[in-house]
Structure 1
Amino acid sequence: MEIKIFSEQYRNALRSIYLESRKSTFTWLETSTYQLLDFDQDTEEERIHVALEGDDVLGFISVWEPDNFIHHLYVSDHANGIGVGTQLLETAKNLSDKPLTLKCMNKNDMALKFYASKGFVIASQGSNDYCDYYVMTNRL
């Protein structure tokens, strides 16, 4: 597996991963309005790294650099369980000496367990129009 910085050649694959993963994961939300182009808007001005196996795009992480905030970490359904998320997270950790933070929906048990296993802890909680969430950090 190799991690590369985003380039346009990966955009269509990342759009698909983002759409499919959100629809299959967020079963408690209304996802019928999600679209392929959401990826473009939701990652605008973020640093994106892409996980690849040969020409196969496995997943991505996007980070809002001013706050070292992980905005998105998604892995293709066919690549779950092989360490893609771990590799992407390690890439983000190694690019800054500031703590990483993220928001994770409190109903997303799989993601909460993943982040906890990687040393993230809940720093606070909040809510918005569609969900309750935890703010997590890898260092307090």
Structure 2
Amino acid sequence: MDDAGLTERLTIRRARADDLSACADLYVRVLVETFTWLPADRHRREDFLRAARDEEIYLAERAGRLVGVAGFYRPQNFLHSLYVTERGHGVGKALLNHVARAADGPLSLKVQAANRRAQAFYAREGFTCAERGRDPGSDIDWLRLVRG
């Protein structure tokens, strides 16, 4: 089956309160699988759930299965999180485009400097680096990317 066929059956919608637990589980699972440069115990569902209080959470489903989640902080047009289980099948792009349509200005995000795969994805989607930094008290370097 081609990517276009997979994407056609993808549903994206705003998460309801009863979806957030499953979204938090997906968040942790994807972080543990892909952020291999960090200890697995550093990824906690509580972090996602705390951020979700102030964000719009969107989810992607295919055939009734949760396959992606995005957290959008509207006051800053900031994509706080984008995690998918089916990488390479258009899920991330579909969630990103959905959030970009919801934004009322240029979309920005932070990506960890070690996350080369995500940087390549965002570059393909038209994002450019606007800033480099490290949060106070953190040991993780990040890039702030913007798509105007």
Q: TM-score normalised to the size of structure 2?
A: 0.86
Q: 1:10-89, aligned counterparts within 5 Å?
A: 10-76=19-85, 79-89=86-96
Distance in 1 separating the partners of 2:122 and 2:69: 15
User: Which sections of structure 2, spanning at least 5 residues, go unmatched?
Assistant: 1-9
State whether residues 132 and 144 of structure 2, in contact with CA within 8 Å, keep that contact through their aligned partners in structure 1: yes
- Off by >6 Å, runs of 4+ in structure 1: none
Distance in 2 separating the partners of 1:116 and 1:16: 27
| Post-superposition offset of 1:31 | 2.9
Query: Does 1:125 pair with 2:132?
Result: yes
How many percent of aligned residue pairs carry the same amino acid?
31
Q: TM-score normalised to the size of structure 1?
A: 0.91
* Deviations 1:72-107 (CA, angstroms, capped at 9, x unpaired): 00002xx11110000000001111230000000111
User: Which sections of structure 1, spanning at least 5 residues, go unmatched?
Assistant: none
Distance in 2 separating the partners of 1:126 and 1:33: 20
Distance in 1 separating the partners of 2:102 and 2:42: 34
The residue that corresponds to 1:93 in the other structure is 100
Look up the SS of the partner of 2:45 in the other structure.
coil
State whether residues 74 and 103 of structure 2, in contact with CA within 8 Å, keep that contact through their aligned partners in structure 1: no
CA-atom RMSD in angstroms: 1.3
| Post-superposition offset of 1:12 | 2.7
Q: Which has the higher helix share?
A: 2
Evaluate the alpha carbon distance shift between residue 50 and residue 87 of structure 1 in structure 2; reply closer, same or farther with a 3 A threshold. same
The residue that corresponds to 2:145 in the other structure is 136
Number of equivalent positions: 137
Q: Decide which moves more: 122-131 or 33-42.
A: 33-42
Distance in 2 separating the partners of 1:35 and 1:72: 14
